Amino acid sequence: MPKDIELKPNCATLNSKHDLRTILSRRLLKQLMMKTPTTKVNVRVHTTNMRIYGTMHLLPQGDISGILNNNRLFFPMTDCQIFKKGLRHPPLPEELHFEAEFLAVPKDKVLWLDLGDTNKIFGPGVELRSLYLLFPGYVLKGDFLILPSVRTSDFLVRAVVEKPFQYLFNVELFLPRQGKNLEDAAVVERLTAITVNLNNVAGVFNVKDDITDFPEF
């Protein structure tokens, strides 16, 4: 969580195309969440229009994928700080919009989430395959868990349809400069593992280690 940020008491809920009141009231959802034994995890969420720092509540023996890849339109967070859109980490105090004791986040607005270090155990037979993910203004490079016999295109098609939120390991966040190759881009952050929403990725490509002709921006 960002430090040295002075907040004023407030409470808010994100809105999407769907009215939250027709799905479940904030009070009822919070009561259900508090009655179920959970593990608290600090998380940073990048959405299409803001950054959220807060707490997610994972079920025993569960992980973030189980929450994000179910058929519910929102996922709950508590003790949230909401900042304007950007990549600075931690954010500046003046970037703070408001705080919320409880927040229902629409999944279709999420770009990626950072839960810090993960204890995710790799399944048998999978390999780490490096790919680049395009977002407006920046690029993420990281490793997906993919079976050696599965083509990258097939993995992406199936993931988008069945489980769009996927783990990405050994992540580097690049800020490309206009008219410059990706190899000249500055790495502004490195992360052990994040969860990305493939439905909101602008593009995916791979670059061989020995290639010299990187895409320009």
Q: Which amino acid is at 94?
A: E
pLDDT in tens, 101-152: 999 999 999 999 998 766 566 667 889 999 999 999 999 999 999 999 999 9
Q: Which of 178, 188, 180, 167 is nearest to 121 (CA)?
A: 167
Domains of the chain, CATH where assigned: 20-111 (2.30.30), 127-205 (2.30.30.100)
Tokens of 192: 């052990």
pLDDT in tens, 21-73: 444 445 555 555 556 678 889 999 999 999 999 999 887 766 788 889 999 99
Stated pTM of the model: 0.79
DSSP one-letter code for 215: P
Angle CA 97–101–104, to nearest 5:
85
The residues, any chain, with a CB within 8 Å of residue 12's CB and separated by 6 or more, are 82, 98, 99, 100, 103
